[in-house]
Amino acid sequence: MRVGMRAAGAVGAATVAVVALLAGSGTSTAGQRAADALPPRAADPGGPAAPDGAAASRRATAGAAGTSGTAGTSGTAGPGKAAERQPFLVREDQFSPANAFIRPDAITYDLARIPAGAGITVARRATRHGTTVWLRVRGLLPDRTYGAHVHTRPCGGRPGDAGPHYQHRRDPRQPSTDPRHANPRNEVWLDVTTDAAGRGGAVSRHGWTFRPGGAGSVVLHERATRTGQGHAGAAGARLGCFTVPLSGG
């Protein structure tokens, strides 16, 4: 069962902690791993159990600082406007197969490498000056590197439904394998290496914001992302996908 989006005046404890973290964050290179970038998973709020194995999803969006009871301010949509209305976004879910009775936001396409019930949390801070995206995973295979990137479309029943990598400056040739476009400065790379318990995290920071409606998911791949000519951005099969409206559109 999905828990509805909460307004700024009703944000849960986990979200408040993430918002405080984001507000106090410094700068670092894109793609830096940060296993402790997000707080430990808090207990799920009360409510009926998820039917037929559908994963519970906690969604929370904090509006502009000092705003209570709304998800942000109003205004004409334009470049960066969606980010200004919802500067903080936190989504959490547990992976389930695409054929679950109610399709989850977090889908596993490979139960051996992303087990059902494994968890994922994505947080985003967006301002007119730039964007930071955090990823945290738990319950994955231990001591393994997964490639991870922001993709353009929401997840679907097939791995390819999420579309290509989001690119700030779009490569006219797709699929993009040119390092001038497929790189961690022009895309959002969140490669994560798990610990012995299957937990891990990553963070990526950029001096630009997502185009409205242009970034719809985070995809986990089978191996670390490659950087060489003709292979840049490649990370093998898509093992799982988490629908997150990162661009706010």
User: 5-35, pLDDT tens digit by residue?
Assistant: 333 333 345 445 554 544 443 333 334 433 3
Amino acid at 140: L
Per the CB < 8 A criterion, the answer to whether 184 and 31 are in contact is yes
pLDDT score at 136: 98
How confident is the model over 38-78, as pLDDT tens digits?
A: 434 433 333 333 333 333 334 443 333 332 222 332 233 33
Alpha-carbon span 141 to 121, nearest angstrom: 16
| DSSP letter, residue 165 | B
| CB 132, CB 139: distance < 8 Å | no
> With bands split at pLDDT 50, 70 and 90, how would you rate the model's confidence at 103?
confident
Q: Comparing 123 with 48, which gets the higher pLDDT?
A: 123
Alpha-carbon span 182 to 150, nearest angstrom = 12
Q: Is the pTM of this model over 0.75?
A: no
